[in-house]
Amino acid sequence: MECIAEMPPAPLDRRPRKRQRLGWDVGPAGMHQVQLGLCGQEVVNAISAVALGLSSGGIVSSQLNQGQARDGSPPLREDDKDGHYVFAVGDNLTPRYKINAKMGEGTFGQVLECWDKERKEMVAIKIIRGIKKYRDAAMIEIGMLEQLGKYDESRSSCVQIRNWFDYRNHICIVFERLGPSLYDFLRKNNYRSFPIALVREVAKQLLEFMHELRLIHTDLKPENILLVSPEYIKVPDYKVSSRSPKEGSYYKRLPKSSAIKVIDFGSTTYDQQDQSYVVSTRHYRAPEVILGLGWSYPCDIWSVGCILVELCTGEALFQTHENLEHLAMMERVFGPLPYHMLKRADRHSERYIRKGRLNWPEGCTSRESMKAMMKLPKLQAMAPPASISIDLKVGEIFELSLDNVASFSQPSDFDQADQERAPS
């Protein structure tokens, strides 16, 4: 059995093998038993912590100590032009953490794999860009993570914060080291679909997570759902898709465990707060968000439905970057959008509607858009609802999202900024 964080190409092996009997446990047990604690040796932003009521591990700002020599600290370097922390593998990040590798990068900053010298284990450290708006958002995320850490029920499906500190004007958040995201697993597996049994387990955990915490994540997507374990198994797979290379296409990888954890709580909110701005990455954005109707829990439910279809097919359900085309795709897959939603569209989205219905195909801007629309099948053809039924079928998940937007209040503001998935 292989246990790796990255999945290299496997050599071609045409030998027949007995198909393994698979059953996914939510395990591994004990992965969620994390003690929250902050270490006094790290430098923290005490002012921000006090203002937000966060537990901090120190009282000295990093800026007070930047000029002081510290044993094992790397030389001071200028941030790059985008405000990202400049590092070298092998550097210390405070005396406690040693940088081992870069795991990823996003709008917020970078994620580094580091060795925790005190706990003798690998951790993931999210290093926020040294820009005020990102620092402020990071402090809000820390507050949310510390609140989530108090709920025993959330530990099986919420990433756990280990520590946080302010280092050279960069908020650093220390997390448990997890496996790859669902999106990375799909990508490195040539976008092969997950087995129905595994999709069912993922769906169950996501829906339980939302029900228990009573929070609105607002950015659920495969990139923000991580497998707890990097371990996988290889099973025969003789279906070669257009996105699968010929070499190595006779096998596919399956996660050994279905246990997942949700990450990125920087935009998480409570239901009683004002929700009138644009949320969610484009592919997983609910219709009420596009139409400016305001949003609540159903926007997360819609995102879950999109995620489940993607796991079943290997492809994002709505591959578009334009609002009218996006809404037309929804109608193509599910049928006409409810009239009560269209008639209440805000002033920014009125141009998508004409005479009480979606302005499509009249408003179509290109022949390519029309062709892409006609190729879209109905939901039942992509992911038969009966095959992945849990407490709710996939179709019912989308219907629940649509039914619950009727009571939303008209938004007072509308943020036009789209959060697009980076091209793969």
Rounded distance, CA 38 to CA 33, Å?
A: 16
> Is pLDDT at 7 greater than 60 in this prediction?
no
What is the percent of the chain where pLDDT is above 90?
Answer: 38
> Is pLDDT at 177 greater than 90 in this prediction?
yes
Judge contact between 94 and 68, C-beta under 8 A: no
Whole-angstrom CA distances from 40 to 114, 135, 261 are: 18, 21, 28
Element containing residue 161 per DSSP (H, E):
strand 161-167
Token pair for residue 350?
């009125």
Rounded distance, CA 230 to CA 260, Å?
A: 11
> Is pLDDT at 152 greater than 80 in this prediction?
no
Q: Is 219 a catalytic residue?
A: yes
Whole-angstrom CA distances from 39 to 55, 97, 162, 277 are: 11, 12, 10, 37
The separation between the first and the last C-alpha atoms of the chain, rounded to the nearest angstrom, is 29
Whole-angstrom CA distances from 31 to 27, 82, 158, 177, 418 are: 8, 35, 11, 10, 35
Amino acid type, 297: Y
Q: Find residue 419's DSSP bridge partners.
A: 281
Residues in the chain: 424
- Would you tell me the crossing angle of helices 367-375 and 323-334 to the nearest 10 degrees? 30
> Is pLDDT at 291 greater than 70 in this prediction?
yes
Topology (CATH) of 46-176: Transferase(Phosphotransferase); domain 1 (1.10.510)
> Is pLDDT at 350 greater than 70 in this prediction?
yes
Rounded distance, CA 57 to CA 140, Å?
A: 17
- 3-state SS assignment for residue 92: strand
Token pair for residue 343?
């008639």
pLDDT of residue 135: 95
pLDDT of residue 235: 87
CB count within 10 Å of CB 344 equals: 18
Banded model confidence at residue 181, pLDDT cuts 50, 70, 90: very high
Is the bond leading into 361 cis (omega within 30 degrees of zero)? yes
| CA angle centred on 375, ends 335 and 327, rounded to 5° | 40
> Is pLDDT at 401 greater than 70 in this prediction?
no
Domain 182-403: give its CATH superfamily.
Answer: Transferase(Phosphotransferase) domain 1 (1.10.510.10)
Q: Where in the chain is the domain with CATH 1.10.510.10?
A: 46-176, 182-403
pLDDT of residue 134: 93
Residue range 314-330: average pLDDT?
91
Residues 6+ apart with CB under 8 A from 153: 212, 213
Q: Find residue 170's DSSP bridge partners.
A: 167
- DSSP conformational letter for 412: S
Q: Find residue 110's DSSP bridge partners.
A: 105, 127
Banded model confidence at residue 418, pLDDT cuts 50, 70, 90: very low
Query: Over the stretch 57-87, which tens digit does the pLDDT of each residue have?
Result: 332 333 334 433 445 789 999 999 999 999 9
Mean residue pLDDT across the chain: 76
pLDDT of residue 239: 62
Highest mean pLDDT pick, 16-30, 45-59, 151-165, 295-309 = 295-309
Banded model confidence at residue 238, pLDDT cuts 50, 70, 90: low
* SS3 of 71-134: CCCCCCCCCCCCCCCCCCCCCEECCCEEEEEEEEECCCEEEEEEEECCCCEEEEEEEECCCHHH
Q: Determine which one of 91, 166, 184, 219 is catalytic.
A: 219
Query: Over the stretch 244-273, which tens digit does the pLDDT of each residue have?
Result: 555 456 788 999 999 999 999 888 887 665
Judge contact between 224 and 263, C-beta under 8 A: yes
Is the bond leading into 423 cis (omega within 30 degrees of zero)? no
pLDDT of residue 13: 41
Rounded distance, CA 17 to CA 322, Å?
A: 46
CB count within 10 Å of CB 31 equals: 18
> Is pLDDT at 128 greater than 90 in this prediction?
yes
pLDDT of residue 46: 37
Rounded distance, CA 104 to CA 100, Å?
A: 13
Q: Where are the alpha helices (DSSP H) in 108-195?
A: 132-148, 182-188
